[in-house]
Amino acid sequence: MSIAESVSAPLESNEPRPVQTAVMLVGAVLAVALGAAVLAVAGTSVLWLYLVGLALGLALFHSGFGFTSAWRQLVAVRQGRALRHTC
């Protein structure tokens, strides 16, 4: 299978998605760095707000919340059923 075929081929439903370790590591480092900057500038109360916002953002991202989940499903899995139901 060529690279173009592997990129355009949808993942099977029972096949787990590959973990992008480098992307996760960069995101975690940036989140910690931003948290440290928030703590240094604004203090602990704003840091708690940052952590709650970060946790809610991760939860909503993993649940596929919002109008973009239908577009993501169309592009990633090539299934437009959810997009047709939004109209």
- What pLDDT band is residue 27 in, cutting at 50, 70 and 90? very high
As a whole number, mean pLDDT of residues 6-15 equals 56
- What pLDDT band is residue 85 in, cutting at 50, 70 and 90? low
* Dist CA 71 CA 8 (whole Å): 15
Residue with token string 């952590």 = 51
pLDDT in tens, 38-69: 999 999 999 999 999 999 988 887 777 776 77
Query: How many Cβ atoms are within 10 Å of 37's Cβ, its own excluded?
Result: 12
The pLDDT value given to residue 84 = 65
Indicate the domain borders of the chain: 19-84
Query: Maximum distance among all alpha carbons in the chain?
Result: 53
Q: Which of 12, 1, 22, 3 is nearest to 76 (CA)?
A: 12
Handedness of CA 6, 22, 72, 63 (dihedral sign): positive
